[in-house]
Homo-oligomer: A and B are copies of this chain.
Amino acid sequence: MPTASDFERLLRGASLRVTAPRIAVLSAVHEHPHADTDSIIGVVRQNLGAVSHQAVYDVLRALTGAGLLRRIEPQGSVARYEARVGDNHHHVVCRSCGAIADVDCSVGAAPCLDASDDHGFVIDEAEVIYWGTCPECTTAAKSS
């Protein structure tokens, strides 16, 4: 797990000012991958004390814009954030409980970047979401 000074380096590398809320948000997302905004606010407040929700929203947007965080929002879920960026991995989402897990790309680094007919669009990213049932929910469904 990276330390506060690692996060500071990340921020400076992105030409962002180093502030306590930013360090705390980065740290929270590293510790809790796929956490929603509310949980992140909770974790940040545990570490820093009072922090406005607006600050967290701002920080999340700044960090996402700078490429330090990635925002994901599967249908029916609120926005979630993760710190694993730049490796083009995907996600599998449980239809039953909403759990999210990481999935490496099965076809190499930048997989399905060719659509069969792209309608003239210039495509720069392919985002894949696998839908299914997580082990816990599968077990629960069988036993019921």
Q: Which residues of A contact B (CB under 8 A)?
A: 71-73, 75, 90, 92, 94, 101, 103-107, 111-135, 138
A126 x B121 contact (CB < 8 A): no
Copies in the complex: 2
B115 x A106 contact (CB < 8 A): yes
A106 x B114 contact (CB < 8 A): yes
Shortest C-beta distance, A19 to chain B (Å), equals 26
| 15 CB < 8 A contacts A-B | A90-B115, A92-B115, A92-B119, A92-B123, A94-B121, A101-B121, A103-B115, A105-B116, A107-B112, A112-B112, A120-B138, A126-B131, A127-B129, A128-B129, A129-B129
Given A73-B75, A75-B71, A75-B73, A123 contacting B114 (CB threshold 8 A):
no
Which of B72, B121, B127 is close to A134, meaning CB atoms less than 8 Å apart? B121
Task: Report how far A111 CA is from B116 CA in the complex, Å.
Answer: 12
For A125, the chain B residues whose CB sits under 8 A away are 130-132
Which of B94, B103, B128, B132 is close to A128, meaning CB atoms less than 8 Å apart? B128
Given A105-B116, A106-B116, A116-B105, A132 contacting B122 (CB threshold 8 A):
yes
Most B-side CB within 10 Å, residue of A115, A118, A119: A115
A126 x B128 contact (CB < 8 A): yes
Which of B72, B106, B134 is close to A112, meaning CB atoms less than 8 Å apart? B106
B117 x A103 contact (CB < 8 A): yes
